[in-house]
Amino acid sequence: MINFFRLVSLLEGISYILLLFIAVPIKYMQGNPEYVKMLGMPHGLLFVGYIVLAIMLKYELNWNGKTFGIVSLLSILPFGTFFVGKYLKKG
């Protein structure tokens, strides 16, 4: 399951970067909200999947509060989810 979590974390990070640095600027600079609508739903689903998988892995791998907190925090930082796999290998 951890490999699936790494995949979801990578996809969630990519969707967040596309939404934050491409879709939102297009929306506000060009007045075109279509990209936000198009990328928002997949990003939201990936984010929810990331959090659900993190909760499941917390119990499966007996993560302490610090590990779960860092993994959760990485989900809201731009580029943060790209470091989840490396962080989990250390811990």
Average pLDDT along the chain, 91 residues, taken 10 residues at a time: 93 96 96 95 97 96 94 94 82 55
d(CA 15, CA 61): 27
Residue 4 lies in a domain: yes
Give me the number of domains the chain comprises: 1
Residue-range definition of the domain harbouring residue 65: 1-83
What is the pLDDT, as a whole number, of residue 86?
A: 80
Q: Tokens 């990578």 correspond to what residue?
A: 10
Q: Which two tokens mark 67?
A: 């590990």
Domain membership of residue 50 (yes or no) is yes
* pTM of the entire predicted model: 0.89
pLDDT given at position 90: 65
20, part of any domain = yes
Look at residue 23 and tell me if it is in a domain. yes
53 falls within a domain: yes
Alpha-carbon gap, residue 32 to 69, rounded angstroms? 36
